[in-house]
Amino acid sequence: MSRIKFKVENWREVRDYMRSLDDLGKSILNDVAKAGADFARPLIENAVSRIDPSLASTVRVKKYRSKNKNKSSAVVEVGGKKKSDYAFHLETGHGHDKDSAARPFIRPTVDTHAREIADHMKDVFFEKVGLPRR
């Protein structure tokens, strides 16, 4: 699984500010996480369509619910109920066909565009909290 991690300067101040917003703060985090996944979705669709066009239509964004008010996540999933195993095997090379080589499409795409995705998430964060982009 590819993850985007980025450092937030002055995190304590940001964290305290988000906590002061209570439910609004959680909503902002949810919006930022989903914005990152929404930004990555077409990039991943494009990458997978070059390997297996039938999987491109199965790419979707899913939000995860967290009870933690300081954490939020959203993911880009590939594959429907029948195709999810196939997408995993295609990405990793692990599966019932021992001779198949991995043909990764998610990790290289996220690695290539990580800075753009993080910048987009930062823009959404600043917009949601009403601050000018730094």
Is residue 90 within 8 Å of 107, Cβ to Cβ? no
Token pair, residue 44, equals 């991943």
> Would you kindly state where each structural domain of the chain is located, as residue ranges?
11-129
Smallest CA-to-CA distance from 62 within 44, 48, 86, 50 is with: 44
Q: What b/e string do you get for 86-124 counting C-beta neighbours within 10 Å, with b at 16 or more?
A: bbebbbeeeeeeeeeeeebbbeebbeebbeebbebbbeb
Given this model, what pLDDT does residue 4 score?
Answer: 52
**Average pLDDT, consecutive stretches of 10 residues, N- to C-terminus, the chain (134 residues):** 54 70 77 90 92 87 72 79 70 69 85 90 86 69
**Whole-prediction pTM:** 0.76
What's the CA gap between 55 and 80, in Å, rounded? 9
Given this model, what pLDDT does residue 83 score?
Answer: 57
Q: Provide the angle, in degrees to the nearest 10, between the axes of the packed helices 23-51 and 11-20.
A: 120
Q: Which residue has the tokens 């979705």?
A: 41
